[in-house]
Amino acid sequence: MSNLLQVKQAYTGEVLKELKMHDGNQVDQMLTTAQTLHHQGALPVYERVNILRKLADLVANEHEQFSQLIANEGGKPIRDARVEVTRAVGGIHIAIAEIQTSQGTEIPMDLSAAGSGRKAFTILEPIGVVVAVSAFNHPLNLAIHQVIPAVATGCPVIIKPAALTPLSTLRLAELILEAGLPAGWVQVALTNRENSEKLVTDSRVAFFSFIGSSKVGWYLKSKLAPGVRCALEHGGVAPLIFDQYADEEGFVSGVVKASMYHSGQVCVSVQRVYVPQNRASELAQKIADIAAKQVVGDAVNEDSDLGPLILPKETDRIESWVNEAVEQGAQVLTGGKRINDVSYEPTVLLNPSKKSKVSTHEIFGPVVCVYGYQNIDEAISEANSLDVSFQAAVFSDDISKAMDIAKRLEASAVMINDYTTFRVDWMPFAGRKHSGYGIGGIGYSMKDMLEHKMLVVKG
């Protein structure tokens, strides 16, 4: 088996770089290094803050280089890749603000005679070694969300980036070193599945951060050493309920962006749109008319609205799922065919079977399904019918009705008159049911990476 990892341009397949993989002994040494640093103690907060400030400037100075890297290795259209880099810089500043205000609390002791004569307060300590396994679809910003909270809280961190998109993470790690963080506090593991599992399940790990498929995430959680905290971020089959909304033109354009962004390879991409039965065909066709105009091509091209899918096998899978849906009665309003090995047409399906894979599984492709519903109760029931539950959306000019629908939707977040893809990096971000465990978001991850210690003083 080759110990070389080839990183390829997502659209052309051209080899961008060959990287040497780490073996089991090297992974074990990474853990030893991280554990040793944790035992030696974290840098003072002011030093971490200064390092992060310098890092933010360094990343900002390479804004276009990172954007090109994201587009090339991950296939995200260059315009969207630039947004990702801007978010990444902002994420570093969020961590700076969070660590500067992080503090313990006083615990009152004289609430009863038993505690009288004592003073108590909590302090916050780094939890220990953090191991992160990341995903391909946001190769820089996901690394920011998993690595920077650890740096800010004083935890040594080992990150395993997606094998298809490691270059952004590797460059970020180089800049962290350049910003002044001593060697060993951030390590990047390039290794196979077997060694990755050994890394994650080692007893020296204190916190595990995972972004990826539910099958892998739940499996790894089941193998964690006793006492290891974790946060899992999986996908969903995001529902959107349309009631009535004055700006239908804006709504339709937004649906296209929210379902086709990064060719649908987003964990909260709009996939199921529920529309009143008497409007379903009309609105679905309007969505299709705009979707049909989307430019699909190499992500580095300035005019590309959609880039490639991450692998040819994903194109095969999406083609199979759409074909199945058509055989089971779905109407194709636009798209429905592959363009090449790594590209699929923006596709709008009307009323696919509720049992089709496009209705029950995260498609992670440029496909959106529109369903007609008889009443709101039916729409809510269908939206809640799956074992995945992440972000959801409702569009209605009747705010009372929208609030009622939002309360009844089984979701960790409901966007009212906005799309399931909405996210800012300081908000909580989490899946329910099979969609995840724990809470993401930079500040929330930082809280998970800190432990409270109570000190009680008598006399």
pLDDT of residue 2: 66
Whether 369 is catalytic is no
171 in helix, strand or coil? helix
The C-alpha atoms of residue 450 and residue 445 are separated, in whole angstroms, by: 9
Residue appearing with tokens 């980036």: 161
Q: Contact at 8 Å (CB) between 357 and 348?
A: no
Q: Contact at 8 Å (CB) between 223 and 202?
A: no
Instruction: Find the catalytic residue in 233, 314, 345, 362.
Output: 233
Whether 155 is catalytic is no
Q: Rounded to the nearest 10 degrees, how much is the dihedral formed by the CA atoms of 423, 429, 432, 434? A: 90
166 in helix, strand or coil? coil
Instruction: Find the catalytic residue in 267, 314, 362, 369.
Output: 267
CA atoms within 13 A on the CB side of 287: 35
The C-alpha atoms of residue 132 and residue 287 are separated, in whole angstroms, by: 38
pLDDT of residue 212: 94
Q: Contact at 8 Å (CB) between 204 and 213?
A: no
Cα diameter, the chain: 78
Chain centroid, CA 443 distance in Å: 15
239 in helix, strand or coil? strand
**Domains of the chain, first to last:** 4-234+435-458 (3.40.605.10), 238-424 (3.40.309.10)
348: part of which helix (H) or strand (E)? Answer: strand 347-350
pLDDT of residue 459: 86
Residue appearing with tokens 């194109």: 315
Who contacts 39 (Cβ-Cβ below 8 Å, separation ≥6)? none
C-alpha Rg value of the chain to the nearest Å: 23
Q: Contact at 8 Å (CB) between 204 and 129?
A: yes
pLDDT in tens, the chain (459 residues): 469 999 999 999 999 999 999 999 999 999 999 999 999 999 999 999 999 999 999 999 999 999 999 999 999 999 999 999 999 999 999 999 999 999 999 999 999 999 999 999 999 999 999 999 999 999 999 999 999 999 999 999 999 999 999 999 999 999 999 999 999 999 999 999 999 999 999 999 999 999 999 999 999 999 999 999 999 999 999 999 999 999 999 999 999 999 999 999 999 999 999 999 999 999 999 999 999 999 999 999 999 999 999 999 999 999 999 999 999 999 999 999 999 999 999 999 999 999 999 999 999 999 999 999 999 999 999 999 999 999 999 999 999 999 999 999 999 999 999 999 999 999 999 999 999 999 999 999 999 999 999 999 998
Q: Contact at 8 Å (CB) between 274 and 369?
A: no
CB atoms within 10 A of CB 13: 12
Annotate 414-458 with DSSP letters as a single string: EEESS-TT---TTS-B--EETTEES-BSHHHHHHHTEEEEEEEEE
Burial letters for 91-102: b for 16+ Cβ neighbours within 10 Å, e otherwise?
Answer: bbbbbbebbeee
